[in-house]
Amino acid sequence: MPLRSVLAGVGSALPQRRVDNAELAAEVDTSDGWIVERTGIRTRYIAGKDETTASLAAEASRRALEQAGLEPADVGLIVLATATPDQTFPSSATKVQHLLGIKDAIAFDVHAVCTGFLYALTVADSMLRGGNARTALVIGSETFSRILDWEDRTTCVLFGDGAGAAVLRAEEDSRTDSGKERGILATRLHADGQWGDMLYVDGGPSTTGTVGKLRMKGREVFRHAVVNLADVLGEVLEAASLTPADVDWVVPHQANARIIDATARKLGLDPARVVLTVDQHANTSAASVPLALDVAIRDGRVKTGDTVVLEAMGGGFTWGAAVLRV
């Protein structure tokens, strides 16, 4: 039988410092009401000096492996999605490998900003089904606070730091109690570079020689996000021979509560079946989807046998979606 990538465990990690809107308003020209009305965000977590993309990723990975009942030595593939690596090179994935004590594995980073976890998941799925490894760690980890312009109130209030991880196992025949196949059923990815100046960082090693700061044209991003996400959700469901009525949960990229609501309404999805954590974590870029998935699995909403759709859109533009049966 053909191999399928089955979700074996999830985990997440957040920095120690939690910053609510009131604390942020004491430093930035904003208010709790302004932020909540426009984004739904109430708190976010900000990494301290000793907390990095790799250290948060490693902690999320440990928790995912523990839930899966596996040891680090079982991992043969690490794909880490991030736009804020610890260093230009080596990859943060190899740093996570070292932190976990894994001596030999395939390890590399994927850079697709907020869609990064969907890209990483798709790559890992292909590699597992191709026989390159039996067990994969797929991670989204970010420290966006390092690239924010804290004088730009329209962007700095939107983002937070964190990490989420998923363990995938290549299985020949894993089924639910009702006999349905478990694992990743379909993925779809897209990119269109003509919109690169809508959401970007104004620096880089090959251009300015500096890290740069995040810049965003919020209204244009909102408009593209609602259209693109609705389209790719419909596309991935069709690829899996499913309809919106077959979906138990949608775990979207946690960018903005209004984008999430508008996308759900456009597809006729029940808002009660959409996992929302943006109020707690803000936009954690590539970490947001696995972080939200971990929350929903651990609080009992998402259960074994549920059909779950993951979706995200980020700078580039990039966007994508995946359907999996837990």
DSSP reduced 3-state for 308: strand
Say if CB 131 and CB 172 are below 8 A apart.
no
Contacts of 323 (CB under 8 A, 6+ apart): 184, 185, 186, 187, 236, 237, 239, 240, 242, 307, 308, 309, 310
For 322, the enclosing helix (H) or strand (E) is strand 318-325
Which bin fits 116, alpha (ψ -120 to 50), beta or left (φ > 0)? alpha
Q: Which residues of the chain have pLDDT under 70?
A: none
Indicate if 283 belongs to the active site: yes
pLDDT for 304 equals 94
**For 287-305, how does the pLDDT look when each residue is reduced to its tens digit (9 = 90+)?**
999 999 999 999 999 999 9
Taking every pair of Cα atoms in the chain, the longest distance, rounded to a whole number of angstroms, is 59
In angstroms, the Cα distances linking 307 to 244, 301, 325 are: 10, 12, 4
* Residue 97 DSSP label: H
pLDDT for 151 equals 94
User: Which of the residues 111, 224, 253, 281 is marked catalytic?
Assistant: 253
Q: Strand 214-216 and strand 4-13: pairing? A: unpaired
**Burial classification of residue 28, based on how many CB atoms lie within 10 Å of its CB (0-12 exposed, 13-18 middle, 19 or more buried):** middle
Q: Which domains does the chain possess?
A: 4-171 (3.40.47.10), 183-325 (3.40.47.10)
Contacts of 234 (CB under 8 A, 6+ apart): 267
Q: Compute the distance between CA of residue 274 and CA of residue 277 in angstroms, rounded to an integer.
A: 10
User: Which of the residues 21, 228, 256, 283 is marked catalytic?
Assistant: 283
Say if CB 232 and CB 311 are below 8 A apart.
yes
Burial 209-227 (b: 16+ CB within 10 A, else e): eeeebbbbeeeebeebbbe
Helices 92-100 and 53-68: angle between axes, nearest 10 degrees: 50
Q: Strand 183-191 and strand 106-110: pairing? A: unpaired
User: Which of the residues 21, 111, 114, 281 is marked catalytic?
Assistant: 114
Say if CB 167 and CB 135 are below 8 A apart.
yes
Indicate if 114 belongs to the active site: yes
Say if CB 215 and CB 237 are below 8 A apart.
no
Q: What tokens does 224 get?
A: 């593209």
Say if CB 143 and CB 83 are below 8 A apart.
no
pLDDT for 269 equals 87
